[in-house]
Structure 1
Amino acid sequence: MANVMEIYRYLDSLAPFSIQMSFDNAGFLVGRGEASVQKLLVSLDITEEVIEEARSLDCQLIISHHPLIFHPAKRVTDADPVGRCVLALAENHIAAICAHTNLDAVSGGVNDALAQKLGLTDIEQLHQDGEDASGRPYGIGRVGFAPGHFYLPEFAAFVRERLGADGLRLEDAGRPVYRVAVGGGACGDMLEDVIRMGCDTFVTADVKYNVFLDARAMGINLIDAGHFSTENVVCPVLADWLGRGFPSVEVFLSKQHKEVFYSL
């Protein structure tokens, strides 16, 4: 038998919440710490559909990547999506723990999961942000070597298939894909790090127009593979961590939460 706080402390040992970025709101966000957990659900986001899924599975806890409560809440009512979710969690006695930028940065987290999903080898950090209290280095992004000989169209097709992405946006610099940087989620501002690490190709998401222009000027192949697709790769990792840490707890991966848009 485990309770919510025991699971929180376990996640904190793997992806310390103390290293989250200053703007973030990762942590234990909803519920009672002493509540027992027999079943839990892992999802990229906590939405009304995910909460209903957790309720139908009789889960006592949802663990997500994106924080349910990101901005300071002045009220909790059914008049807005966050309020409805908080109320639904409370009414169904479901707790919420969210591991966000701390999970992005740690070894084995979002960016390692993305690099491994794309078959990169000799993986290293794209940018080191610091060391945690145990002296373990952490940072956003990863760099590795492509798992074969590609030019961008072939590599983009490979990325789309591996990530199950609905669609990609590309800047083709005409260079062979050899040394690849990845940044799960919105990491378009890391182009300088990509160049510093000697990369020819960058896979990330939420890329702004000016970043595509910069990539063209810098001669970098750029792939925007979507926020959901580049980060959802961590959910099976979380499920595996939790299954190994709490073998008596039944762990589910959300089947309801999927990409929020589609491409024509």
Structure 2
Amino acid sequence: MLSCQVIMNALDHLAPRSLAEDWDNPGLLVGSFAQKVSRIMVALDVDDAVVDEAIERKADMIVAHHPAIFHGMKQLRTDLPLGRRLAKLVTHHIAVAAAHTNLDIARGGVNDVLAARLGLEKLSAFVVTGESDGEVESLGRIGTLPAPVSIEDFAGHVKTSLHVSHVRLAAAANRPVRCVAVCGGAGAEFIDKAAIRGADVYVTGDVKYHEAQRAVELGMHVVDAGHFGTEFPVVSVLAEHLRAALENERGEIEIFITNRQQDVFQVVI
């Protein structure tokens, strides 16, 4: 077993909390830094299915991308979904930690994993958030494909590479794709920035109708691969990072990923 503090130190090394946006809520959200942990489950969300799975698989801790507690709480109502989940976690002594925007920004985090899945090369910063050790930190990444492709072929490539059931494409005329901007999760607010940076296509999730329309008016394609689809690939990578970071610690630890988490959306044809 390892203390929760040791695990949080490893997580902070991988995705420093200092990188997180001011409005975010990463870190240890349930449990104690002193409690002992022998089994960690890594997931994207801490939803009911994940909590039940953690209990059944005897996990002592859940490390997730999305914070289990996001907004301030004034009551712990066990007749409501969040309160019921938190009560269940406390009852079963399961600690919960989150690495959210800090993992989005971190090198090797959400956006580097997304870019790698899509085969992008020559990556550079997209939405600059700060500077650390002389290097620029940013949300999202911009990179290039080895060779230009049609937008239809690229959209198919995104679908296959992310193992999603579908993507939504807003195509802007007959513009070949070489320069690609990506932002895992909900990144539609950066459509104008992607266009200004010269991206042929922007890959993100949760794009609304008028936002897609705006991208097309700017002459840039948009591929919406979903919030889940653009972020879930980081889960397995995060698990591997934690295994590597903790392998030399004194104490046995087992790290595994959820096998029940799925996109809240289903496609009905």
Identify the TM-score tier after normalising by the shorter chain. over 0.9
Aligned to 1:251: 255
Alignment-mate amino acid for residue 251 of structure 1: I
How big is each residue's C-alpha offset from its partner over 1:110-152, in whole Å with a ceiling of 9 and x where there is no partner? 00010001111111111221024x5553210101112444211
- Unaligned 5+ runs, structure 1: none
Structure 1 segments (4+ residues) deviating >4 Å:
none
Residues 18-167 of structure 1: matches in 2 within 5 Å?
A: 18-132=18-132, 134-167=133-166
CA–CA separation in structure 2 for the residues paired with 1:228 and 1:67: 15
CA–CA separation in structure 2 for the residues paired with 1:182 and 1:69: 27
Alignment-mate amino acid for residue 257 of structure 2: L
Q: SS at the partner of 1:138?
A: strand
Q: SS at the partner of 1:144?
A: strand
Residues 184 and 84 (structure 1 numbering): CA distance in 2 closer, same or farther, change over 3 Å?
A: same
Aligned to 1:181: 181
| Corresponding residue pairs, total | 263
Residues 201-220 of structure 1: matches in 2 within 5 Å?
A: 201-220=201-220
CA–CA separation in structure 2 for the residues paired with 1:220 and 1:240: 35
Alignment-mate amino acid for residue 11 of structure 2: L
Alignment-mate amino acid for residue 109 of structure 2: G
Alignment-mate amino acid for residue 163 of structure 2: G
Moved more, 38-47 or 207-216: 207-216
Say if 2:43 and 2:64, in contact at 8 Å, map to a contact too.
yes
**How far did residue 202 of structure 1 move?**
0.6
Say if 1:110 and 1:234, in contact at 8 Å, map to a contact too.
yes
**How far did residue 106 of structure 1 move?**
1.2
Aligned to 1:195: 195
Q: SS at the partner of 2:63?
A: strand
Percent of residue pairs bearing the same amino acid type: 38
Say if 1:2 and 1:246, in contact at 8 Å, map to a contact too.
no
CA–CA separation in structure 1 for the residues paired with 2:144 and 2:164: 21
Alignment-mate amino acid for residue 256 of structure 1: R
How big is each residue's C-alpha offset from its partner over 1:58-92, in whole Å with a ceiling of 9 and x where there is no partner? 11100000001111111112221111111111011
Alignment-mate amino acid for residue 68 of structure 1: A
Say if 1:115 and 1:182, in contact at 8 Å, map to a contact too.
yes
CA–CA separation in structure 1 for the residues paired with 2:142 and 2:134: 21
Q: SS at the partner of 1:46?
A: coil
Say if 2:192 and 2:215, in contact at 8 Å, map to a contact too.
no
Of 250, 261, 265, the match for 1:261:
265
Aligned to 2:171: 172
Moved more, 206-215 or 59-68: 206-215
Residues 212-251 of structure 1: matches in 2 within 5 Å?
A: 212-247=212-247, 248-251=252-255
How big is each residue's C-alpha offset from its partner over 1:134-185, in whole Å with a ceiling of 9 and x where there is no partner? 5553210101112444211111111111112222211111211111010101
CA–CA separation in structure 2 for the residues paired with 1:100 and 1:230: 14
Moved more, 61-70 or 203-212: 203-212
CA–CA separation in structure 2 for the residues paired with 1:139 and 1:184: 12
* TM-score normalised by length of structure 1: 0.96
Alignment-mate amino acid for residue 166 of structure 1: S
Q: SS at the partner of 1:141?
A: strand
Residues 129 and 93 (structure 1 numbering): CA distance in 2 closer, same or farther, change over 3 Å?
A: same
Alignment-mate amino acid for residue 138 of structure 1: E
